[in-house]
Amino acid sequence: MRPIRLLAAAAIVLSAATAYAQEPLRVGVISSRSGPFAVLGEQGDDGDILAAEEINKNGGILGRKLELVFADDTSQASETSRVFRELAAKGVSVILGNTDNGDAATALAKELKIPYIAAALGYSRDLTEEKGHRYFFRLIANARAYYGPFAERVAQDKHTRWCTIGLDISYAHDMTPNVLKYLKAQNPATTVVDGCQFWVPVETTDFSPYITAILGKQPDALLFGGVVGPALIGFINQANSFGLFKAIPSVHPALGWPGNNEGLREEDIPGNIVTAGDFIYPPPADRPSAKAFVDTYKARWGALPWSEALRSYVAVKFVKVAFEKAGRIDREAFVDAAEGLTVDDPVQGPITVRPFDHQATVSVWVGRLSWDAKDGRPGLADAQFVPSAAYLPTAQEIASLRAKTN
């Protein structure tokens, strides 16, 4: 945690209000700044602040100073609901989410008719599908953008007998069967070895019983994409000590994501893990704006940005573009303007929020987990950028999914 640093940064964003003729435009930010997802929430906050500072230096939004109002949900859904109502009571025009508690936030966004943008965390596909509605937007990838391209790459190795392991959380329960579904579509012989699908309590630190069981089953390959967050590094280190990755080819759809691989040392990285990420190291050399973003962020915060910082940065810029298109500070006008709107992403290029489900066309790179010597951190080798459009549901499919649940 760094509350003093955050307060100082927020003070910069909020300062010099007298330079603007009107009251500030208040945008709420729900972040997991404590609890298990704190480090990801902090990255998102830093991206928000960086974008807000740039906007305010260039005249604000419709001549109004942008004021970010932060709230910590402590990584708990119950707190997400509570602080959402608090921010609504403070009169914020839009709420950004640097939290994985999208279910709690989207329900209140619909109830209170306040636009909510999943800016960092909240990848579960159903948020913009079955559970989607007028007031929910997602400026990060739909998990399908990971599942499809990743599974197509993995299917090239023609593994049929799989073991899986994941934390006992909604994301893992959504990700695992969907990746297997994609793999089976590529190779109908794909199956899960009997007794080799494991759901692990979130607080688990000792994975040795599961690793031993997987080795005993001798599958062709292991899908461990459901192990995320703080548990992931522990799992990888323990798996290395058992020689798991040397014995069994292993895959993870989001280990190229910097928040998942932070903390791995060069010697910890096996050479055979296929994975993906929506912001990778080294940043794509063919996108000068990507390097500029990394350099600017590093100069401001003294650290390298992760996906959460980039996505939150883009979300704040999206808020500016949408309100300026709307021509006034009004929630309903914001929603109307935001549908179908395109915003520049310094790493991915232009991304568009689809009008019928409010899902941004954020895409991924697929490659092998590797060591990025230039930046001194884990990265992605042999990376290929795969646009998400082919993997997202059509307007007709979205309508059908929502009709079944409403």
On the question of pLDDT at 265 being above 80, the answer is: yes
Q: Mind listing the pLDDT tens digit for each residue in 349-371? A: 999 999 999 999 999 999 999 99
Q: Mind listing the pLDDT tens digit for each residue in 132-154? A: 999 999 999 998 898 889 989 99
Locate CATH 3.40.50.2300 in the chain: 3-141+287-362, 145-277+364-391
Average pLDDT over residues 263-275: 89
Q: Residue 73: which residues within 8 A CB-CB, separation 6 or more?
A: 30, 31, 32, 79, 80, 82, 83, 99, 101
Determine the 3-state secondary structure of 217 from DSSP. Answer: helix
The total of other beta-carbon atoms located within 10 Å of residue 203's CB is 9
DSSP string, 173-215: HHHHHHHHHHHHHH-TT-EEEEEEEEEE-TT----HHHHHHHH
pLDDT-above-70 percentage for the chain? 95
CATH class of 3-141+287-362: alpha beta
On the question of pLDDT at 307 being above 90, the answer is: yes
CATH class of 145-277+364-391: alpha beta
pLDDT-based confidence at 3, cuts 50/70/90? low
* Cis amide bond preceding 282, omega within 30: yes
Average pLDDT over residues 1-16: 50
Average pLDDT over residues 44-71: 96
